[in-house]
Structure 1
Amino acid sequence: MANRGYDVVVDVDDHEGDLGHTDLQEDLEFHSSNFNDTQSSKITPDSTYQPPSSTSGSSKRYLWTLSFYAQFFAVDTSHVLHRCFSALVPRRPFLDILDGNPDLYGPFWIATTVVFILFLTGTISQYLASHHDQAFIYNFKLLSGAAGLIYGYTAIVPIALWGLLKWFGSGNAPGESSIGLVESWALYGYANVIWIPVALISWSPISVLNYVFVAVGFTVSAVFLTRNLWPVVSVTEAKVSRILVIGVVVAHAGLAIAIKFLFFA
């Protein structure tokens, strides 16, 4: 029909045999249609509706579940590259760049890359220093030594630092800067990125150049660490903060010395 908003209801009596005997005035009735209202009520969402909340147990992440560790690897390549560049060319505090989302993906692969490059360039350095009239034997102890040195330093030193900061009350007062364990791992992990170019060029048989390259790597990474740790360390007592900073520098110097004499002596 041309009249929108109306429904046609045809009432046919059972005793009348065909539609030809229907009385249009009695049997045809027009009623107001509520089709549009019904349709709009189905389409318009209820503003008071709240989705069922998940149970409290499903949102928890436990140490023995994969979801607990997966959250520390939820980072894409662009973020990792940006953090690597920020470690090499620090313009902003690195904890601000992490923005409360530290990752372990970048630190793991950076450390792994450093391990294999140290093994490769250390082998080349030993080959250049060997007597070429004898068969050269690969020293796979360099690989295990590099893995123990880099993985051990990157994992243990941040734990020790984080524990000492907690012991001396860093971040306990409101408004004080603090650092979490994963942030500490991320900070030390990304500090290792400087050792990739250093290890690539430190296989030279010229010992003085190797000292210079390793010294540059130590300086860049040590400045990066102390610059980002100082706001956290300085909230402790003055004597304690100085001891912690000196400890960070000494431990990092030990790493640089070990790299020099174990792989590029």
Structure 2
Amino acid sequence: MASKNDPFQFQEFDEAGDLLEANRDATTISIDDEDVKPQKQSTATGFSSEADTEDPLANDDQAELLSGQKKSPSFWSFEYYQRFFDIETHHVKERIIGSMMPWPRKNFINVYLRRNPDLYGPFWICTTLVFATAISGNISSFLAHKGKRDYKYTPEFRKVTIAATIIFSYAWLVPLAVWGFLLWRNNKMVNLVSYAFMEIVCVYGYSLSIYIPAVVLWILPFNWLSWCTIVVALCLSGSVLVLTFWPAVRDDHPRVMIAFLSVIVLLNILLAVGCKTYFFTIPGNKTVTPTNSTT
């Protein structure tokens, strides 16, 4: 047993009790109370230590999110175009199928885009069409001259450059002109349907998807089959464009409406017929008539 005079045993101090009896309004602090924390003391400059560790940029982002005024990225920045490539695969498939199977009173932008255009599908469709046109044109030329003794096959890589220039110019410059025209008509008229530039680019990009299988069929040495596929591709691609832009000019003047839709169809025809004529027309062999030389 521990002795009563153990010096290490906790003892009550009577002076503390006397002091409390003398001043009952005094504040006491218990050592066992873990919730009591000392107050933060301000530094000499008047700023707290917690304020020094906080990130001011994080506070700005939180304030923008709470106020709903998050700044959108600039048109010239990479972040602006990054969202146009964030799309699911099944959405791309639906838009490709929708561009190949147009239906009356079915607007491609309202049904498939839903104010969420993408550049992923149009970019790869145009790129695939470029290589399909150039490669199919080389194969068609090879098959047409196959079996001739004086023919030596040389791949024409310049066709890739020419096809890329034609197709990407059509997929970007024509939508730019259409967007500028619709913007001009919206300033002239009231209650006209307006489309964003990226939506128009998306429509034109997906409308070219029907030409990929058509170009592959142009390899076959049947001229009637090539022109039949051109007519089918023109009807499907042109229908998508006309049904999409019809609501935008429906309430405009009849002459303006007819001229606008006619130009859209005409440019589509020029693209298809021009590619068929340039890349798949085999030049005829020139017959040289020998001349008798007199000695």
Q: TM-score range by the shorter chain?
A: 0.7 to 0.9
Contact 1:103 1:186 in 2 (8 A): yes
Shift of 1:170: 6.9
Shift of 1:262: 1.4
Q: TM-score when scaled to structure 2?
A: 0.69
Shift of 1:232: 0.8
Greater Rg, structure 1 or structure 2? 2
Shift of 1:253: 0.8
Instruction: Provide, for residues 109-166 of structure 1, a one-character-per-residue CA deviation record: whole Å limited to 9, x for no partner.
Output: 0000111111111111111122532220111121111101111111111111111111
> What amino acid is aligned across from residue 90 of structure 1 in structure 2?
P
Contact 1:122 1:263 in 2 (8 A): yes
For 2:218 and 2:251, the matched residues in 1 are separated by 38
> What amino acid is aligned across from residue 139 of structure 1 in structure 2?
E
Corresponding residue number in structure 2 for 1:163: 180
2:127 matches 1:112: yes
Corresponding residue number in structure 2 for 1:86: 98
Q: Alpha carbon RMSD of aligned pairs, Å?
A: 2.2
> What amino acid is aligned across from residue 127 of structure 2 in structure 1?
T
For 2:13 and 2:152, the matched residues in 1 are separated by 115
Corresponding residue number in structure 2 for 1:198: 214
- Structure 1, unaligned runs of 5 or more: 1-11, 17-50
SS of corresponding position for 2:205: helix
Corresponding residue number in structure 1 for 2:293: none
Q: TM-score when scaled to structure 1?
A: 0.77
1:48-197 to 2 correspondences below 5 Å: 52-54=62-64, 59-91=71-103, 92-96=106-110, 97-130=112-145, 132=147, 133=149, 134-169=151-186, 173-174=190-191, 176-197=192-213
> What amino acid is aligned across from residue 144 of structure 1 in structure 2?
T
> What amino acid is aligned across from residue 195 of structure 2 in structure 1?
I
For 2:75 and 2:244, the matched residues in 1 are separated by 28
For 2:195 and 2:123, the matched residues in 1 are separated by 19
Moved more, 98-107 or 230-239: 230-239
For 2:100 and 2:187, the matched residues in 1 are separated by 27
Corresponding residue number in structure 2 for 1:220: 236
- Structure 2, unaligned runs of 5 or more: 1-9, 15-60, 282-295
